[in-house]
Amino acid sequence: MEIAKDILLATIPALLVLITTYIIIKKMIENDRDKRRSEIILQNSSTITPIRLQAYERLILLLERISIEALIMRTNKAGLTTKELQSSMLNSIRSEFDHNLSQQIYITPQAWEVLKNAKTNTIKIINTSAEKLPPNATGSDFSRYLLEALMEIDKEPSKVAIDYLKSEVAGMM
């Protein structure tokens, strides 16, 4: 009995020290893991944020380039028919959009939807306007009609999308 008591008196403090050491080491490892995770997140955000901002810049440039005024300035040439100018404008929109497809990775899904809606609505305005003109209308007639149609709209689709992207960027900062 005396031996069992001596063994218990020696074992219990040793077990307490072992349990305490285990708890302390476990907490230190967890704290170190949390610290490393925080450092990685901070490092990633300092790398990703500039890339995201660059994506927003590129998409705003895309929207500026597919605005109807910019399309008219860039694609309208003397001697074009309405159909030729319409085709040139639509090709320009598709080309610009295709060139920037990868940017959707860096923006929110809602922003990408707004951008796609702007593209779709711009195409609708162009196609609807072209249908309303006679087949022998010139590109100049088409341009004039498009600009008049824009004046009837509260806000051009590209401008709506640009405002949305700007508000998202402002929210990031």
Q: What is the pLDDT of residue 11?
A: 86
Find where tokens 């209308």 sit: 137
Give me the DSSP letters along 17-59. HHHHHHHHHHHHHHHHHHHHHHHHHHHHHHHHHHHHHHHHHHH
Q: What integer best gives the mean pLDDT of the chain?
A: 90
Q: Strand pairing partners for 81? A: 138
Residue 136 has pLDDT above 90, yes or no: no
Distance CA 103, CA 67 (A): 19
| 66 C-beta neighbours (distance < 10 Å), count | 25
Task: Kindly give the interhelix angle for 68-75 and 139-152, rounded to the nearest 10 degrees.
Answer: 170
The domain limits of the chain are 48-172
pTM: predicted TM-score of the whole model, two decimal places: 0.74
